[in-house]
Amino acid sequence: MPVSCSGKCGRNAFMRRPKTNDALCRDCFFLAFETEIHNTIQQEQLFRAGEKVAIAASGGKDSTVLAHVMKVLNERYNYGLNLVLLSIDEGITGYRDDSLKTVAQNRDDYGMPLRILSYQELYGWTMDRIVAEIGRSNNCTFCGVFRRQALDRGARLMEVDCVATGHNADDIAETVIMNILRGDTARLRRCCDIKTGSKANDTIPRVKPLKYSYEKEIVMYAHFKKLVYFSTECVFAPNAYRGHARAFLKDLEKVRPSAIMDIIHAGEQLQIKGTVKKPVRGICGRCGFVSSQQPCKACVLLEGLNRGLPKLGIGKKSKGDRMVALQEQQLREKARLVKNDF
């Protein structure tokens, strides 16, 4: 027997909304999904009229849905935003080169200017080359650090007022779990912030309009709207630590459907003791971008690659210092031997 739509539109429902379990027709689902994101934007005051906003575009479902919804809401509610696309090419053959074609399609579909920056252009390295040096055990560390800074570099080049990323509720809950398991108190509290950075601190703010949107609903929205997106997983991702957190979260969600939102709300309410030493976010003395250490993680990793010490930035700083000292000692010894030969 057909079930009536909970939106009281007079139509029959065709789905149960994962987040609320409401029986909705297609149009009411679209409206509920978009309205929820609009309410998040308004309540958190993520944007101001006249701002230039860069949408971090990867070609995946999250960034594609974000670009589509931002365009819809910008026109429906007259936000007055200038929307542009910013994409990062990590240099992963068979993955990023294909997804960038989808990003170009997004540019054409939504009429937004697109800027693509590559790791090769910014750092002189591609992820393919980095993986060849470091192996597959720590490659996500390099990619994540370089990508975060690449977005800052791209935002500065495009002279935008803020960057909107496609992080959804599942992503944030996974990050909370990862930071708990690592005992990373600094990132544990910060990862739940819907807005990070500020112009007052000489950093371009980042916002997460999809913070309370379930991944399942994002997939359903993209599917039923027939949006074009790239769905292939990164070839280096199977070994990522995040994958274990994701599997745990999915199992937890089967037992407690509200687990995702429960974890996010718990993270939002966390308070760190005043006696706990917390890193201070500042500006890297080498590259001039935001960092909580001197030099920043990106500069340390890049130095290791250029020195032939790809594991320099992996693990504790003291270990990296010992690696540099050992290499410098070996170079001095080699120079002494050469001098003695003459």
Task: Tell me how far apart the alpha carbons of residues 244 and 256 are, in angstroms, rounded to a whole number.
Answer: 18
Q: Mind listing the pLDDT tens digit for each residue in 23-34?
A: 999 999 999 999
Burial zone of 183 (CB within 10 Å; 0-12 exposed, 13-18 middle, 19+ buried): exposed
* Ligand-binding site membership of 56 (annotated): yes
* Ligand-binding site membership of 62 (annotated): yes
Q: Residue for token digits 């053959």?
A: 93
10 Å Cβ neighbour count for 26?
Answer: 15
CB 163 within 8 A of CB 205: yes
What is the model's pTM?
0.88
CB 290 within 8 A of CB 152: yes
Name the H helices within 285-316: 297-307
* Ligand-binding site membership of 88 (annotated): yes
Q: What is the pLDDT of residue 323?
A: 54
Q: What average pLDDT does the structure give for the chain? A: 88
If you average pLDDT over each of 40-49, 187-196, 201-210, 296-305, which comes out highest?
40-49
Task: Tell me how far apart the alpha carbons of residues 168 and 165 are, in angstroms, rounded to a whole number.
Answer: 9
Q: What percent of the chain has pLDDT over 70?
A: 91
CA dihedral of residues 162, 163, 166, 167 (deg, nearest 10): -80
* Ligand-binding site membership of 171 (annotated): yes
* Ligand-binding site membership of 166 (annotated): yes
* Ligand-binding site membership of 63 (annotated): no
Q: What is the pLDDT of residue 229?
A: 92
Q: What residue ranges define each of the domains in the chain, with the CATH number in brackets?
A: 15-278 (3.40.50.620), 280-341 (no CATH)
Q: What is the pLDDT of residue 231?
A: 87
* Ligand-binding site membership of 247 (annotated): no
CB 65 within 8 A of CB 100: no
Q: Mind listing the pLDDT tens digit for each residue in 243-278?
A: 889 999 999 999 998 999 999 999 998 877 777 777
